[in-house]
Structure 1
Amino acid sequence: MKKNFIYTLLFLICSFSFLNAQTADDKKQISVAVIDILKGFQTKNADLINPYIDKTYGVGVLFKSSGDIGFVLNEDVDFDMPLGYIQKAWNIRNQYPIQFDTAFEYDIKNKKWAKEGLSVQFNSNTINEYVNQFPDPDSIKDQNIFKINSNPKNVAFVTLAENSKEKALINGFKFAMTKIGSKWFLTFIDVTEYNAE
């Protein structure tokens, strides 16, 4: 009996060590990707962003138009294409260290962040929450880009909470990353706080 208890205890310790190693690897991958992606948008350098876009799924852009949520799906990021409302999100400074599992509160009325910073939230259900805001959620859920984001355990939501000094610009930048296989990919860019019209 004592022997079984020791084996069980050793198994649990090894299991927890393995889980921590996975989390450490995820944090390392996400940290490198987030810095590259934000730098790519700052400098309008798609070569820094596109390696993080899965060729099968592409990258979706969530936006609002006349108060309704919508999205467009792109194969990759191309700064030579007219991206309209997304351009306002390029004016970012990104001077904050990454904080994991920290949420930043956005004041919708005053259109600014209560506190600035850079956050990565693992196990994010944000994409599923957006799906429910579409006029026909069932047709949206069936699209591959949304299917791969349906399990929150595979989704990390990144928030760069920065307040712009210019009122016309978006405050900060938000995007979703999804674990596909063993690698994290940029799957959604969220500009829903800025109404396109």
Structure 2
Amino acid sequence: MKKNIIYTLLFLLCSFSFSNAQTADDKKQITLAVTDILNGFQTKNGDLMNQYINPTYGVGVLFKSSGDLGFVLNEDVNFSMPLGYIQKAWNIKNQFPIQFEAAPAYDSGNKKWKKEGLSVQFNSNAVNDYADKFLEQYSIKDQEIFKINTDPKNVVCVTLAENTKEKAPINGLRFFMTKIDTKWFLTLIDVTEYDAE
């Protein structure tokens, strides 16, 4: 009996160590990518961001218009072209260190984040939650960009929660990264907290 308990503990310990090794590599990749993506938004440098966009899938933008959820797919980020709803997110400050924790909540009534900071949340199911909210006639779940995000283990939600003193339609930025093969890619930019109209 004692042998079984010891073997079980050893197995769990080894599994935990292996899981941490994977997470450490993921954290390293994600930290570099998040830094570059946010710097790309700050400096309006699409090339800096586009190295993290998979050419097969592109990058999607989730937004709301008149209360309805909308979606547009772009091949890449090009700041010389009109990017619609993304444009409001260009004025980020990006002054917080990365915290690997759950994304903070947004108070849409007061248009403020309940907690400021830069969070990276592993195992995010938010993309699936958004896909469930689209009207059925849009067949969003059939879009490749949503199919690659169905497994939460391969998705991280990055939230830069910034509250500005002036009246601004956008405070910070939220986006999703997806692990495809062994690399993390920017797959969706989420500006759904902010109604475009």
TM-score, with structure 2 as normaliser? 0.92
Partner in structure 2 of residue 176 of structure 1: 176
Partner in structure 1 of residue 194 of structure 2: 194
Q: Percent identity?
A: 76
Residues 117, 162 of structure 2: 8 Å contact kept = yes
Closer, same or farther: CA 2–102 of 1 in aligned 2, 3 Å: closer
Task: Give, in angstroms, the shift of residue 10 of structure 1.
Answer: 4.5
Partner in structure 1 of residue 47 of structure 2: 47
Partner in structure 2 of residue 134 of structure 1: 134
Structure 1 CA distance for aligned equivalents of residues 93 and 115 of structure 2: 15
Give CA deviations for 1:136-193 in whole Å, capped at 9, x if unaligned. 1771111110000011111100000001233133011000000111111000000112
Residues 119, 159 of structure 2: 8 Å contact kept = yes
Residues 103, 158 of structure 2: 8 Å contact kept = no
Structure 2 CA distance for aligned equivalents of residues 109 and 30 of structure 1: 31
Task: Give, in angstroms, the shift of residue 15 of structure 1.
Answer: 2.6
Residues 67, 195 of structure 1: 8 Å contact kept = yes
Residues 131, 137 of structure 1: 8 Å contact kept = no
Task: For 1:15-164, list aligned pairs within 5 A.
Answer: 15-136=15-136, 139-164=139-164
Moved more, 166-175 or 74-83: 166-175
Q: What are the ranges of 5 or more consecutive residues in structure 2 without an aligned counterpart?
A: none
Task: Give, in angstroms, the shift of residue 16 of structure 1.
Answer: 2.1
Structure 1 CA distance for aligned equivalents of residues 4 and 103 of structure 2: 43
Closer, same or farther: CA 14–194 of 1 in aligned 2, 3 Å: same
Structure 2 CA distance for aligned equivalents of residues 175 and 5 of structure 1: 43
Residues 85, 194 of structure 1: 8 Å contact kept = no
Moved more, 93-102 or 12-21: 12-21
- SS of residue in 1 equivalent to 2:99: strand
Task: Give, in angstroms, the shift of residue 105 of structure 1.
Answer: 2.2
Moved more, 166-175 or 177-186: 166-175
Task: Give, in angstroms, the shift of residue 13 of structure 1.
Answer: 3.2
Structure 2 CA distance for aligned equivalents of residues 3 and 61 of structure 1: 54
Give CA deviations for 1:54-105 in whole Å, capped at 9, x if unaligned. 1111100001112111111011101111112211101001100111123312
Q: What are the ranges of 5 or more consecutive residues in structure 1 without an aligned counterpart?
A: none
Closer, same or farther: CA 9–107 of 1 in aligned 2, 3 Å: closer
